[in-house]
Amino acid sequence: MTTLLNETLKESIYMPTPARITAVKTFTPTEKFFKIALPSGFSLAHRPGQFVEVSVFGVGEAPISICSAPSRSNGTFEMCVRAVGKLTDALHRLAAGSTIAIRGPFGRGFPIERFRGKDIIFVAGGLGLAPLRSLIDEVINDRGKFGRIHLLYGTRTPQDILFAEDLVAWANAPRTEVHITVDRPDEAWKGNVGVITKLFPKLRFHARNTVAIIVGPPVMYKFVLMELLGKGIADGNIWLSFERQMKCAVGKCGHCQLHHIYTCQDGPAFSYAQVKHLEEAFS
């Protein structure tokens, strides 16, 4: 058994390894779920929060976050892909049995060992739930090592809710609360309505012993950060994941540069303490 990364680094850091799509599920009109099998003998050996570079030959390559937990990956991994560009559109046209190519995993994920013994607030906006799912499952799989868990999840409409089965399973896990809100409800929706920060009054936590992990669209960060900081959670206990354009994933192409940081290799997971002084971090 060798890691995919070892293979990636062998001849050219830019050359991927073929991998097979074994299952495709349509989540929403724009989001699909893919299960990928690596060639036999390979493991992904990723950390929650890391990403892979996915190739469809002839179309190109794009960074996609891994949405499955390391402890549930056995030569396979999962990703949830929104069709928003040439590569993701091409992925959406592929069916189970197709072959793609993968490099990675890349970047630094979330430091899960530092979350042990603490209460955790997960805040996910839209597709941000995908990279968080990898971490949430890892925490739930080792449930005894963590304190109380809150998951706040916001989407535009009820139809945009991703990972519906997982949300039910998480809500049923011990000492775990799941709160969902939508911007625009339909007639059938009986849950919360409004922006995600409206969910905060529902939470009871001890700020000194709480970590918060936020993943969502750029506009969400400022408001969620204000809530969390206002509740007294320390800068170093707030973690977030940055999305940037990436062409190489190995700190060379310059697209993801944020000050002296390359989001692809120094992130995409950062603590708020690491990035709060950086102009453009939340622009």
Partner 1 sequence: MSLRIMPKSLLKTWIKHLQSRHFKVVGPTERFGQYVFEEIHSADELVMDYPTSVLPPKKYLLPPRERLFTFNAKTMEMQPDIQAVPTVILGVHTCDMHAVAMLDKVNNTGYADQHYKARREATYLVSVECLTPCMEGSFCKSMGTLTVPENYDLHFTDLGSDYAVEVGSEKGAALLEGCSAFWEPSEADYARVDAVIGAKWQHFPYRLECDVTELPDLLALSQKSPLWDELGERCLACGMCTKVCPTCYCFDVTDEIDLNLEHGERIRQWDSCQIEKFAVVAGGHNFRSSRALRQRHRFMRKGKYQYEAFGLMGCVGCGRCAASCLVHITPVDTFNALHRLRQAAQNGSAAENTASNQEVQA
Partner 2 sequence: MSAKTLPRIAFFEFTSCEGCQLTVVDTLQDHPELLNAVEIVQFREAMSERGDNYQIAFIEGSCTRPSDEAKLKEIRAKAQIVVALGACAHLGGVNAIRNRMALPEVREYVYGEKAAWFETYPARPIEAVIKVDASLPGCPIDRNEFAMAVTHLLQGRLPNLPDYPLCIECKLLENVCMYQRGKTCLGPITRAGCAAICPSYGDGCEGCRGLIPKPNWAAMKAVLREHGMTDAEIDSRLTMFLTYQTMQLEAKAAEG
What binding mask, one character per residue, do residues 44-63 give for partner 2 by CB under 8 A, x or -?
--------------xx----
Asked whether position 144 contacts partner 2 by CB under 8 A, the answer is no
Which x/- pattern over 18-37 shows residues binding partner 1 (rule: CB under 8 A)? x-------------------
Rule CB under 8 A: say whether 88 interacts with partner 1.
yes
Distance of CA 14 to the CA centre of its chain: 23
Q: Which helix (H) or strand (E) holds 137?
A: helix 129-141
The site string for partner 2 over 86-105 (x = CB under 8 A, - otherwise) reads x--xx--x------------
Segment lying near partner 1 (by CB under 8 A), choices 80-88, 131-139, 180-188, 205-213: 80-88
Q: Angle at which helices 129-141 and 164-171 pack, to 10 degrees?
A: 40
With contacts defined by CB under 8 A, name the span among 154-162, 175-183, 233-241, 250-258 that binds partner 1: 250-258
Q: Distance (Å, rounded) from C-alpha 283 to C-alpha 269?
A: 17
∠106-111-112 over CA atoms, to 5°?
115
CB of 59 to partner 1, least distance (A): 6
| Binding residues with partner 2: total (CB under 8 A) | 6
- Chain positions 89 to 148 lying near partner 1, rule: CB under 8 A, are 99, 101
Residue in the structure block whose two tokens are 């030959």: 57
Spatial separation of the C-alpha atoms in residues 264 and 51, rounded to whole Å: 9
Q: Judging by DSSP bridges, how do beta strands 269-271 and 238-241 pair with one another?
A: antiparallel
CA-nearest of 229, 269, 249 to 114 is 269
Contact 35, 122 (CB under 8 A): no
Binding interface with partner 1 (CB under 8 A): 9, 11-16, 18, 57-62, 82, 84-85, 88, 99, 101, 217-218, 243-245, 247-248, 250-255, 257, 259-262, 265, 279-280, 283
Binding interface with partner 2 (CB under 8 A): 58-59, 86, 89-90, 93
